[in-house]
Structure 1
């Protein structure tokens, strides 16, 4: 079923082309399916910075200096888009502000991007939480 979504996705219009017309995933779909906020502050990521990322890994995830160095080396060399970017930790430093972000907007933008990439001719995989597509009433 999910592969059918990929085949029918048109990245220029961000819509599924189905025999009876076009359909898309909206912020309302995200909000009602996932129950996460679609209004609030934008989830804007800052540029990756190894010093800041090192600090985030050590202070917020509790890894040792050696583990952080190893993880950053692997992260920089092998980042494939299938892992969560470390820069998201910056948004989680102050947990009191987390609910004020528009996480639904970010999720939808990410899904659109991944569907656009997966709809290309030779692509055989997609990153992200594809199970969400099953929750939609398209």
Structure 2
């Protein structure tokens, strides 16, 4: 028994058909951000024990992205700027649901390479990539020192509730407030 591609498609509505998301992972992510988002992250801090860098491997800080794209788009914005903002919003959505980082303060930059042309995004199998990411994080979570988990955690919860309905939380209606005075007055 395990989470399958059918589960991710039925429970989350994420497409599993299409091209597999197998691309280069040795890209210079700083250059990818510059090209597709229009902003270049600063160089990483040289102290390996400090986690204050904007871009670490293929993960970028969400607050840095929000500082660049948080303001509303100008009415006369060029098509390139609109595309950059759209990529930002899609990247944050993907990073907060499908490709969640266990720190919850960074998003994965890897999906950005599949958003070069936003209209081509529907050609890819986002569900299989998200399920692969989830299995990777489930494997890491099995380590005795692991304290957090990443991936599509919402899918795990939905899957458990659908397979084991007896542990699903039950919504109860609120009870009527207790009347002041004797109980006999309320009958």
In which range does the TM-score fall when normalised by the shorter chain?
0.5 to 0.7
Partner Cα separation in structure 1 for residue 126 and residue 156 of structure 2 = 17
- SS of the aligned residue for 1:84 comes to strand
Q: Which has the larger radius of gyration?
A: 2
CA distance in 2, matches of 1:77, 1:106: 18
Structure 1 residues 30 and 41: alpha-carbon distance in aligned structure 2, compared to 1, 3 A threshold: same
Do structure 1's residue 69 and structure 2's residue 73 form an aligned pair?
no
Q: Name the one with the larger helix percent.
A: 1
Gaps of 5+ in 1: 1-22
How many pairs were matched up?
107
The correspondence for 2:120, drawn from 82, 92, 97, is 97
Root mean square deviation of aligned Cα:
2.4
How high is the TM-score relative to the length of structure 2?
0.50
Q: Shift of residue 113 of structure 1?
A: 0.7
Residue aligned with 1:53, SS: helix
In structure 2, how many angstroms separate the alpha carbons of the residues matched to 1:85 and 1:91?
A: 12
> 1:7: which partner in 2?
none
Higher relative contact order (CA 8 A, sep 6+): 1
Q: Is the 8 A contact 2:130 2:151 kept in 1?
A: no
Contact 2:58–2:109, Cα closer than 8 Å, also in 1: no
**1:90 Cα deviation after fit:** 1.7
CA contact (8 A) 1:45 1:88 kept: no
The answer as to whether partners of 1:53 and 1:87 remain within 8 angstroms in 2 is no
Equivalent residue, structure 2, for 1:51: 31
Is there any run of 5+ residues in structure 2 with no aligned partner, and where? 45-53, 61-100, 164-187
